[in-house]
Chains A and B, each alone.
Chain A
Amino acid sequence: MSGLGGLGGLDRPEAPTSPGAWDERSGEWLVAETDVRGNGADAPPTAGQEPTATRTNGPRPAPTRRTGADPVKALIHRHRDLCERAVDPLEIAAGLEAHGLTDRTAARFLHRDVFSLAEEMYARVARDGETPSSLPPLTTPRARADWILLTLLPGALCAAAVTALHLTHGRARLIAAAAGALAVTLALRAALARGPLATPHAARSAATRTCWLFAYALLGDGLLQAAAIGGPDALPAGTADGPWPFTTAPVLALALSCAPAAWCAHLLAVRARRKLSASRALEDFATSVKPLLLGTFALYLCALTALLTLTATVLDEPTAYPQTLTLGALLLLARLLTTHGFTHAPGLVLTATVTAEATALAALLAARLPGCAWLATPVQSLIDTWGPAAIPTIACGAGALTLLLHATRTLTRASAHAPADGPC
């Protein structure tokens, strides 16, 4: 029926011996195919190619068809995209088969099977003048409304909470402070859950340590000051003056800086992705991304400084630049590193910072025990020399510096900026 009964017929080791068809059915096919394709294959100005241009030098098999001196050439022309894009003959073979070519069809081109036909096609397609493929650059993350709004949320809630603190008194002020702290924490969590500051890796959360650092920024300096002079005698009253003052301006500035931080991270991601597409060697990428990283970092610090000046002016509090800037730098770097998959170093550094601050406080308080007065000496001398802000500044500054050095090594690696979506 088909002329190829059984399995042995599939592998035809020999080419057809006569130029005709091998049975009457394929004879019809031959004629039909010739009629159909004769128009295209015969006409010389096929897409402006000269008929002899792509002739190979080796001995060509004698043409078997009445029309078209070179049937393979017509085939190459028809599958030009496939041939030009193929990286090896097997890819052409797979593509030809997907277009319905079989070994029987390949026999018409005087080939034993599709593989050898594909090899000829692969060899005959000129690849020398191949232009570097104009692939679309890597997709860059888009700024989206959801995370932009979410990053504004902590600042807004914190401002509301600070206003509430100023407007209320007594027990209501305590309730307002607690509610404000809770709301800001939840908003921060939501802001970090998506957008450029979100981490795709299921890392151990640094939330507790971050909360401690915020709490220290709010209460720590006052407590330290009070502890140094023998206090504190009462719970904080929630005001900027008093024996244990609240320093709300730095916290408000930090909460407001969530938005610039997200923008900086976004900028870094977009620019790094562009540099990734443009660079040819890993070294090139590292050298080009280092200034970008430092620039982004400086941009964030500028934004934080401006915000801090603003909040301190509005709230009429002293501007605590050193401790706030170092804390902001530390938090941003830790978050950036975590976002890019480096969770180990930020975790360590945050723990160290928290421990340093807690130790300073504990040492001051423990010095009141009989015989332990010497414990307070280093902290006390620091406070005497530079004031209570020295403790958080040194702790956060050392941490931030460590993370900055770490980031200039790790965040300049190409693998840190690899597209997160899987290869398949």
Chain B
Amino acid sequence: MRIGLVTEGGYPYVNGDARLWCDRLVRGLAQHEFDIYALSRSERQEDEGWVPLPPQVSRVRTAPLWTAEDDGVAYGRRARRRFAECYGELVAVLCAGGAADASGAPGGASATEADRFGNALYGLAELARDEGGLVGALRSEAAVRTLERACRARGALRAAREARVPDLLAVAAHLEHALRPLSLDWYEDDNLGSVDLCHAASAGSAALPGLLAHHFCGVPLLLTEYGVRLRTHYLAAPESSPAVRSLLAAFHGRLAAETYARAALVTPGNTHARRWQERCGADRAKLRTVYPGMDAARFAEVGEAPECADPDTLVWVGRVEPAKDLVSLLHAFAEVRKEEPKTRLRIVGAPSCSEGAAYLGHCKVLAAQLFPDEAEGPHTVGDNPVSFEEVGGPEIPTLADAYAAGAVAVLSSVVEGFPISLVEAMFCGRVTVSTDVGAVVEVIGGTGLVVPPRNPRALAEACVALLRDPERRERLGAAARARALELFTVEQNVAAFHGIYLEIVSRTPVRRVVLDEAGAPLPFAVPAEAHVPGRWTERSARLVARGGPSRPAGAPVRATALPATEAAR
């Protein structure tokens, strides 16, 4: 099969998000061909280059999201009217409220609104495909004026009615930015139109090419979301006026709902993401939770030898930042020391940013205040029971050694997405005590202790209980390792996607019409064997998707093909 993998600011860029996951997926499914369509987030990202690509990647096309050149196409009267109609519809839906309000009361009205949004979106895409020049049109005064009219219309949100001129400009600029994928020339028969399945690695901008490929060429869309984009948008929303925030929230909500509605299947990375998707209108029947996979091999040695652990050591591993609440951990450790004076705590991790560095310094000071240095006897040099280390040092050469050092792994975060350090500890066969945040409960699933966040006393009691009971520790550690090996390995992840690919292609295959030289459809040109999974795609036949009119050559937006890998095939 030929998979079109659409990423945004991720694979194949060296510093992309989720590149490890995509890399493992592409390498793990060598029986399929992969076309990668990458949207880059910044110039720096483009400059830093790509990761090495396996041979099953047959082509890579990239396009910048951080810049868009106006191709200088000036619309004629009809195109202008078409743009005003589509854009007007789009912003009218946004001004009428977000999908969030609509999903609460599923009914005719909300479905109509969602339909209007989708139609306006595809109308703009068709305009960009037929005429080009969408970037300029979205930046133009006509767009701002249409937006103003929609905001002042009856039935608009109150926040939208109060929009001032700077707000209108901000919203128009943001919409232009978000709709940049519409101007790409990816939706041709020799690009996304030729793949059997479009796999979007995240929602938002990356899902737009998938939506359009589905619209223009009927390619089924698979959406994988490890972090919910809509939620990220809410959290990352910059400080701006209520009008801007409500309109943008409406746009992202509508876009998410449209993506979930059009996708053949949606694979959230954990139950938390799944709940958000359901909330935004995803059909439960389409949701398949696929846990992210991790490389279990590097933890195998430690995991198979649980006896090498120091029975009196607690270990915390992760990136140091305020959300990890190390202060609470230190206070909990003080309680632990009251009960078990021989216990030591090793905090392994490096700060990720300047804020994290300041926090680490704060924690070191607190540790020095809480725990004086202590020595074994009157003639030995003392040491602090809390040690701050980093992976790669002489004592802890690898990550696995960090977990191996302790008998109990502790996670004290107040905010957590998918807790990777918890999974690593499970792979190492270490029993864990963690706070009940994010996807922790789902990951741990009864093979470790869970305490409420911001509760040092509960954390301390759980730690003491485990420290005093080596048998329970061992039992839970073994169970944790077994659970992790079953749920969180790379093989599990790849196998799940393999099955999902086959399921989608068998349920919603792309119907293509093969044309002969004269341009007439050839009946029976695609034999039934063509639908058998495996490497069967050939480039000899000229494939044209039904209903996809051809488009004049000339790329509206810079999009570069990769000649090297194309030639290598």
Q: Which A positions have Cβ atoms within 8 angstroms of B?
A: 1-2, 4-7, 9-11, 25-26, 28-29, 32-33, 85, 87-91, 94-95, 97-100, 102-105, 113, 115, 119, 132-133, 135, 138, 202, 276-277, 279-282, 284-285, 413-416, 418-419, 422-424
Q: A87-B159, A422-B173 are in contact. Are A11 and B234 (CB under 8 A)?
A: no
Contact, CB under 8 Å: B139 / A415: yes
Contact pick for B141, options A11, A87, A102, A414, CB 8 Å: A414
9 A-B contacts (beta carbon < 8 Å): A2-B450, A9-B441, A88-B100, A90-B230, A90-B249, A133-B241, A280-B164, A414-B165, A422-B173
Contact, CB under 8 Å: B165 / A1: no
In the assembled complex, the Cα of A33 lies from the Cα of B454 at a distance in Å of 10
Question: A94 — which chain B residues lie within 8 A by C-beta?
Answer: 231, 234-235
Q: Which secondary structure dominates where chain B touches chain A?
A: helix
In the assembled complex, the Cα of A133 lies from the Cα of B69 at a distance in Å of 34
CB contacts under 8 Å to A, within B163-178, are: 164-166, 168-170, 172-174, 177
4 interchain residue pairs of minimum CB distance: A5-B446, A2-B450, A87-B246, A94-B234
CB contacts under 8 Å to A, within B439-472, are: 441-442, 444-455, 457-458, 461
CB contacts under 8 Å to A, within B418-437, are: 435-437
Q: Is B81 an interface residue (CB 8 A)?
A: no
Distance in angstroms from B262 CB to nearest chain A CB is 21
Given A6-B445, A7-B442, A282-B144, 14 more A-B residue pairs with CB atoms under 8 Å apart are A28-B458, A85-B242, A87-B98, A95-B235, A99-B414, A102-B441, A276-B169, A282-B148, A282-B168, A415-B139, A418-B173, A419-B169, A422-B177, A423-B173
Distance in angstroms from B446 CB to nearest chain A CB is 4
Contact, CB under 8 Å: B145 / A90: no
User: What interface size band does chain B fall in?
Assistant: 35 or more
Q: Is B540 an interface residue (CB 8 A)?
A: no
Distance in angstroms from A235 CB to nearest chain B CB is 42
Distance in angstroms from B219 CB to nearest chain A CB is 28
Question: B447 — which chain A residues lie within 8 A by C-beta?
Answer: 1
Q: Which residue of A lies closest to B476 (CB)?
A: A1
In the assembled complex, the Cα of A16 lies from the Cα of B526 at a distance in Å of 58
Question: A28 — which chain B residues lie within 8 A by C-beta?
Answer: 458, 461
Q: A1-B446, A5-B446 are in contact. Are A29 and B455 (CB under 8 A)?
A: yes
Contact, CB under 8 Å: B442 / A415: no
Q: Is B275 an interface residue (CB 8 A)?
A: yes
CB contacts under 8 Å to A, within B83-133, are: 98, 100-101, 104
Q: A28-B458, A135-B241, A280-B165 are in contact. Are A415 and B452 (CB under 8 A)?
A: no
Distance in angstroms from B204 CB to nearest chain A CB is 11
Q: Is B245 an interface residue (CB 8 A)?
A: yes
Question: A281 — which chain B residues lie within 8 A by C-beta?
Answer: 148, 165
Question: A276 — which chain B residues lie within 8 A by C-beta?
Answer: 165-166, 169
Question: B100 — which chain A residues lie within 8 A by C-beta?
Answer: 88-90
Contact pick for A99, options B144, B415, B448, CB 8 Å: B415
Q: Is B240 an interface residue (CB 8 A)?
A: yes
Distance in angstroms from B513 CB to nearest chain A CB is 41
Contact, CB under 8 Å: A132 / B162: yes
Q: Which residue of B lies closest to A283 (CB)?
A: B148
In the assembled complex, the Cα of A296 lies from the Cα of B422 at a distance in Å of 64
Question: B560 — which chain A residues lie within 8 A by C-beta?
Answer: none
Contact, CB under 8 Å: B457 / A32: yes
Contact pick for A32, options B231, B239, B449, B458, CB 8 Å: B458
Q: A91-B234, A94-B234, A133-B241 are in contact. Are A282 and B165 (CB under 8 A)?
A: yes
Report how many A-B pairs have Cβ atoms within 8 Å: 162
CB contacts under 8 Å to A, within B231-271, are: 231, 234-235, 237, 239-242, 245-246, 249, 253, 271
Contact, CB under 8 Å: A415 / B144: yes
Contact pick for B165, options A5, A88, A132, A279, CB 8 Å: A279
Question: B231 — which chain A residues lie within 8 A by C-beta?
Answer: 90, 94, 97
Q: Is B80 an interface residue (CB 8 A)?
A: no
In the assembled complex, the Cα of A279 lies from the Cα of B148 at a distance in Å of 13
Contact, CB under 8 Å: B458 / A29: yes
Contact, CB under 8 Å: A135 / B169: no
Distance in angstroms from B488 CB to nearest chain A CB is 13
Question: B511 — which chain A residues lie within 8 A by C-beta?
Answer: none
Contact, CB under 8 Å: B235 / A282: no
Question: B140 — which chain A residues lie within 8 A by C-beta?
Answer: 415
Q: Which residue of B lies closest to A90 (CB)?
A: B100
Question: B458 — which chain A residues lie within 8 A by C-beta?
Answer: 25, 28-29, 32
Question: B166 — which chain A residues lie within 8 A by C-beta?
Answer: 138, 276-277, 419
Contact pick for A4, options B162, B414, B441, CB 8 Å: B441
Q: Which residue of A lies closest to B253 (CB)?
A: A90
In the assembled complex, the Cα of A276 lies from the Cα of B168 at a distance in Å of 11
Contact pick for B235, options A6, A89, A98, A414, CB 8 Å: A98
Question: A89 — which chain B residues lie within 8 A by C-beta?
Answer: 100
Contact, CB under 8 Å: A285 / B234: no
Question: B104 — which chain A residues lie within 8 A by C-beta?
Answer: 119
In the assembled complex, the Cα of A11 lies from the Cα of B144 at a distance in Å of 43
Question: B234 — which chain A residues lie within 8 A by C-beta?
Answer: 90-91, 94-95
Distance in angstroms from B358 CB to nearest chain A CB is 20
Distance in angstroms from B333 CB to nearest chain A CB is 18
In the assembled complex, the Cα of A417 lies from the Cα of B442 at a distance in Å of 50
Question: A419 — which chain B residues lie within 8 A by C-beta?
Answer: 166, 169
Distance in angstroms from A192 CB to nearest chain B CB is 21
Question: A416 — which chain B residues lie within 8 A by C-beta?
Answer: 141
Question: A285 — which chain B residues lie within 8 A by C-beta?
Answer: 165
Distance in angstroms from A29 CB to nearest chain B CB is 4
Q: Is B279 an interface residue (CB 8 A)?
A: yes
Question: B415 — which chain A residues lie within 8 A by C-beta?
Answer: 97-100
In the assembled complex, the Cα of A89 lies from the Cα of B414 at a distance in Å of 22
Contact, CB under 8 Å: A1 / B451: no
Distance in angstroms from B239 CB to nearest chain A CB is 8
Question: B449 — which chain A residues lie within 8 A by C-beta?
Answer: 1-2
Question: B144 — which chain A residues lie within 8 A by C-beta?
Answer: 282, 413-415
In the assembled complex, the Cα of A415 lies from the Cα of B172 at a distance in Å of 9
Distance in angstroms from B551 CB to nearest chain A CB is 25
Q: A90-B249, A95-B234, A138-B166 are in contact. Are A11 and B275 (CB under 8 A)?
A: yes
In the assembled complex, the Cα of A389 lies from the Cα of B416 at a distance in Å of 76
Contact, CB under 8 Å: A104 / B436: yes
Contact, CB under 8 Å: A2 / B446: yes
Contact pick for B279, options A10, A90, A280, A423, CB 8 Å: A90
Q: Which residue of A lies closest to B65 (CB)?
A: A424
Contact, CB under 8 Å: A88 / B101: yes
Contact, CB under 8 Å: B271 / A415: no
Question: B289 — which chain A residues lie within 8 A by C-beta?
Answer: 7
Question: A422 — which chain B residues lie within 8 A by C-beta?
Answer: 66, 173, 177
Contact, CB under 8 Å: A7 / B174: no
Contact pick for B169, options A11, A115, A280, A414, CB 8 Å: A414
Contact pick for A1, options B164, B438, B448, CB 8 Å: B448
